[in-house]
Amino acid sequence: MSPAALALVLTAAVTHAAWNLAAGRSRADSTVSVWLYMTGSAIILLPLVLVQLASAG
C-alpha cells in the first residue's frame, strides 16, 4: 500500500472515530448535530474544491 493511500485510510479512520465520539456525547438534537457537522465539513473542504475547479478550467 502506498504511503498516500495509507495516510488516507488512517485519516478516514480517525475522522470516523472522532465523529462517533462527538455524536455519542452530543446532548443536542441529533438533527442539529448532523447539520453542524456537515456545514463544518463543507466549510473546511470549500478551499480544496475551489482549487480543483480552478485547475480543471
Q: What is the pLDDT of residue 32?
A: 82
Can you give the residue range of the structural domain that contains 8? 3-56
Give the pLDDT confidence score for residue 53 in this predicted structure. Answer: 92
**pTM for this predicted structure:** 0.53
pLDDT tens track for 1-57:
899 999 999 999 998 998 888 777 777 777 887 888 889 889 999 999 999 999 986
Residue 53 contacts residue 42 (beta carbons within 8 Å): no
* Structural domain total, the chain: 1
Looking at residue 27, its pLDDT comes to 73
